[in-house]
Amino acid sequence: MKALLSDTALQRFEPGAHRFCPDASCDVVYFDAAGRTFTTTDLRVPVWQKQPPGARTICYCFGENETEIRAEIEQTGRSRAPERVRAHIDAGRCACEVRNPKGACCLGDITQTVKRVAHG
């Protein structure tokens, strides 16, 4: 989380347990039990869960995004994005715990995105 905060937001950071909010209806990305929050404007990267569907980057490590997934499906009938991400994970290249605002592996999100994009 700290790696994704802007310089200004990092100055407000207090150690402790922070939770990620994926709810698209609010700007809060991280919050803690004391009520401290960090919003989308406090991060160095866009948070795909907070953006409208269409061109969002889903994989922060390897740049898989909705636009390219959609184009691949239109051109070939399917997207191999999950396989590409899995190959990078297997090769030890994944850095989701640092690069992904959710702090977790994006493979499940990539798989869901491919299904959503493929079914319109």
Tokens 């609010």, residue located: 26
Do 101 and 89 lie in one domain? The reply is yes
Residue 51 sits in the same domain as residue 38: no
- 51 in the same domain as 39: no
Burial of 73 (0-12, 13-18, 19+ CB in 10 A): middle
Q: For residues 84 and 62, is the Cβ–Cβ distance under 8 A?
A: yes
* pTM of the predicted model as reported, rounded to 2 decimal places: 0.90
Q: In what order do the strands lie in the sheet with 18-20?
A: 18-20, 28-32, 37-39
Print the domain residue range for 55.
Answer: 45-120
CATH code of the domain in which 113 resides: 1.10.10
Please write the tens of the pLDDT for every residue from 36-81: 999 999 999 999 999 999 999 999 999 999 999 999 999 999 999 9
Shared-domain flag, residues 14 and 64: no
pLDDT of 120 above 90: no
